[in-house]
Amino acid sequence: MTKIGILGISGRMGRLLAEEVSTAGATLAGGTARRGEQWPADPRALARVSDVLIDFTTAEAAEPHLQAALEARKPLILGTSGLNGAQEAALAEAGRDIPIVYAANFSPGVNLLLAVAERLAAGLPPESYDAEIVETHHRQKIDAPSGTAIALGRAVAAGRGTTLEEAGIESGRDGHTGPRKTGAIGFAALRAGQVVGEHTLLFASGSEHIALTHRSFERRVYATGAVRAALWAVRQPPGLYGMKHVLGMG
């Protein structure tokens, strides 16, 4: 049985991941947490006794976790959001040595939505159709825009044959912003109550709107996907993969 180690096992996602490991017929190798009260805080020790690691923690913690996976030569499933460019570049580098599945969202629905977003963007010229992404999450979420919102923005940019950085980002508009920049991709983030995760992608021209909305009603959908990715990753050669590869959409 595959031994799965969970980095961040005390968290909202970590607790569900621990349940999903046994549901999927795998073994829980152990877990870590920041405070180390119930669980130890040493990712290296966990990596040594695990066949594969799953990380749902913070961007700050993701770096030492990546090092632990690299040192132990164990696959890593990374669901943590809020990584910066340098941290994402380090993942690409590490993918030369170990299998890594890095996904902003492990739900099947969101990964299909990403594919549809890219397709739609390819057919809707940016001169006529403004792309706006609105996301809503629970009040505890510490990063914005969400990883999924950024992934949607990247999908739109890819469909338009460019990158998010080149297209331009308009985020958190406030005050005298001036008119919208043609081709820019807009982001708005709401934090309210205990919303699990909602994302809407809007394409709006002067004469029509297309709005695509995904709502998660329970976090378990992410946990199930991440454990599925872990069982897939142990059979893969080194590489940086996404959930689309796990789902056979790559």
* Annotated binding-site members for (S)-2,3,4,5-tetrahydrodipicolinate: 138, 147-148
CB atoms under 10 Å from CB of 139, counted, come to: 9
Packing angle, helices 220-233 and 108-123, rounded to 10 = 90
Question: What character string, x for contact with ligand NDP (CB under 6 A) and - otherwise, covers 125-164?
Answer: ----------------------x-----------------
- Asked whether 45 and 7 are in contact (CB, 8 A), the reply is no
- Binding-site residue set for NAD(+): 8-13, 79-81, 103-106
Q: How far apart are CA 220 and CA 225, in angstroms?
A: 8
- Nearest to ligand NDP of 109, 161 (CB atom): 109
Residue 57's closest CA among 73, 70, 49, 68?
68
> Does the annotation mark 65 as catalytic?
no
Q: What angle do CA 163, 212, 80 make, to 5 degrees?
A: 55
Residue 45 corresponds to which tokens in the numbers above? 């020790």
Question: What character string, x for contact with ligand LZUJQKHR (CB under 6 A) and - otherwise, covers 62-101?
Answer: -------------------x--------------------
Identity of the amino acid at 38: Q
**Active-site entry in 3, 141, 181, 244:** 141
Identity of the amino acid at 75: P
CB atoms under 10 Å from CB of 92, counted, come to: 12
Stretch in the footprint of ligand LZUJQKHR (CB under 6 A) among 90-98, 145-153, 154-162, 186-194? 145-153
- Binding-site residue set for NADP(+): 35
Contacting residues toward ligand NDP, per CB under 6 A: 8-14, 33-35, 56-58, 60-61, 79-82, 103-106, 147, 222
> Annotated catalytic sites, by residue?
137, 141
Contacting residues toward ligand LZUJQKHR, per CB under 6 A: 81, 104-105, 137, 141, 146-148, 197
